[in-house]
Amino acid sequence: MTDVLYGLPWLLAVVAFGAVIPVVPTGAAVSAAAALAFHEHPLTTVVVVLTGAVGAYAGDAVTYVVCRWGGEQFARRVRWLRAGHRLDELAERLHEREIPVLLVSRLLPGGRIPVLLTIAVTGLDWRRFALANAPACLLWSAVYASIGIFGGAIFPKPWQSVLVAVIVVLLVTQLISLAQTRRGH
């Protein structure tokens, strides 16, 4: 159990960093840690889920502050939001259903940054964002950890579980991105 516990600060740092700089495969990190935890002691997967959620939450908080600081000038520079109606549509959905929108944005590759930017630019109160984002981060971490747990349950060696978990996460992420790209055209 100690190996997993020693790795938790690294997991926290990787997920928090990846939430701010979205090129880091944070889902794969949570899946791999969960696969290792499952082999070491299955109950430690709960700690992995919580650590992943805290890292995601911390990174989202930093991203929110940066987006809030950059304001509309920053939003206008983002290519996705250049068409002003997208910002308005997303803002309307956010004000109607904050938690579901944050949940979906966390699970879709590339969905989180536009939502966080919209939240910051449209002035969603920090307290409302903080409360709505907590379940989104927890669900996100649990979903990716479950991939690692699934790999841990199927494969007898930890390295096999980690490898399969990372490959599955990367493949699913790429397939979702490809589907989003095709749908957008």
pLDDT value for 82: 47
Provide the token pair at 13.
């740092």
Provide the token pair at 171.
């493949």
Handedness of CA 49, 52, 55, 61 (dihedral sign): negative
Provide the token pair at 170.
């990367």
The 3-state DSSP class for residue 108 equals: coil
* pLDDT at residue 185 tops 50: no
Report the candidate in 135, 170, 138, 133 with the shortest Cα–Cα distance to residue 151: 170
Provide the token pair at 37.
């935890």
* Calpha distance 76→167 (Å, rounded): 35
Q: Which amino acid is at 83?
A: A
pLDDT value for 56: 95
Mean per-residue pLDDT, 152-164 = 83
pLDDT tens-digit readout, 102-125: 777 787 777 777 778 777 777 677
Is residue 81 within 8 Å of 117, Cβ to Cβ? yes
pLDDT value for 78: 61
CA 37 to each of CA 42, 140, 159, 168, 172: distance values in angstroms, whole numbers, following the listed order: 6, 18, 12, 18, 22
Provide the token pair at 81.
């939001």
pLDDT value for 124: 73
Residue with tokens 């996705």: 80
Arithmetic mean of pLDDT over the chain: 81
What is residue 52's DSSP assignment? H
pLDDT value for 160: 84
Which range among 10-24, 41-55, 58-72 shows the weakest confidence by mean pLDDT?
A: 58-72
Cβ density class 133-172: b for 16+ within 10 Å, e for less:
bbebbbbbbbbbbbbbbbbbeebeebeebbebbbebbeee
pLDDT value for 129: 83
The 3-state DSSP class for residue 110 equals: coil
Is residue 15 within 8 Å of 55, Cβ to Cβ? yes
pLDDT value for 88: 66
pLDDT tens-digit readout, 15-34: 999 988 888 889 889 999 99
Mean per-residue pLDDT, 147-168 = 84
